[in-house]
Amino acid sequence: MGLTKPNVTQAEKGRRLRELQERAGAFIIPNPYDAGTARLLEMLGFEALATTSSGYAFTLGKPDYGITREESLAGVRLIANAVEVPVSADLENGFGDAPETAAETIRLAVAAGAVGGSIEDSTREAAEPIYELSLATDRVRAAVEAARSLPFPFTLTARAENYLHGRTNLGDTIKRLQAYEQAGADVLFAPGLTSKEDIAAVVSSVGKPVNVLMGLRGVKLSLTELSVLGVKRISVGGGLGRAALAGFLRAAREMRESGTFGFAEEAVGSFSELTRNFK
């Protein structure tokens, strides 16, 4: 396998992602943080991938929300060009307040190889972390219009960020997701929901596929349980990146604090084993 995957067109990838969301049951859309982890996930048989803003930012030595639109899109391009499966891009809040900026970010993500993308309703402002509903909906609508102008199906995910900012208001979250659905979003996503009851309430309140975020500490709902609830997509955000960094830090601390190298017993068996996956 070469770095670029020319055998599957972007249009075909777009159709594949849409078909996955129309298929019965839930599927996992894991979040690689670079081209190598994307390739490994593809090798393991995952049928679609989604980028992670935090995971990619950490590879650049920057915090979540600490990278520019250009840096984010560079990561999308690396991942999308490394695999034959569809890739949906984590586009944060579109990297700007104006609806026109959200629309432009969608177009740029397409140019980078993505066949799906998410737009958040978070402002990045501590005092007012969530956009007023009317503006938030206009931003989704503009992103949808950009997606609909394409010659292939682009899957637009609208994210209601209340729970990630301490605003655990299920009623307002559902109201927002319903507004984003009316604005044309293809997938609805409220990261931070952790209980079966809240997830079921969201699923029953909207008519479009629902994505949920798993991989959070202490949350143990399974693919089967979420599928029974009516969830369609399951992502893990920066979870894989944090898991990898946890292993890295354990190994580094062992060397620094005890001068031993026991971590090697848990490492992938050999260089040749890894190399085979990247050919």
How much is the pLDDT for 217?
A: 84
Residue 5's pLDDT is 53
Give the pTM: 0.95
pLDDT in tens, 136-183: 999 999 999 999 999 999 999 999 999 999 999 999 999 999 999 999
Q: Which helix (H) or strand (E) holds 27?
A: strand 27-28
Cβ burial of 132 (10 Å; 0-12, 13-18, 19+) is exposed
The CA distances from residue 115 to 63, 77, 160, 165, 181, in Å, are: 26, 11, 21, 28, 19
Q: What is the pLDDT at residue 178?
A: 99
Task: List domains and CATH numbers for the chain.
Answer: 10-237 (3.20.20.60)
pLDDT, tens digit, 9 for 90 and up, residues 96-123 = 999 999 999 999 999 999 999 999 999 9
pLDDT at 241: 97
Average pLDDT of the chain is 95
Ranges in the chain, pLDDT < 50: 1-4
End-to-end Cα separation, the chain, in angstroms: 5
Give the three-state DSSP class for 65. coil
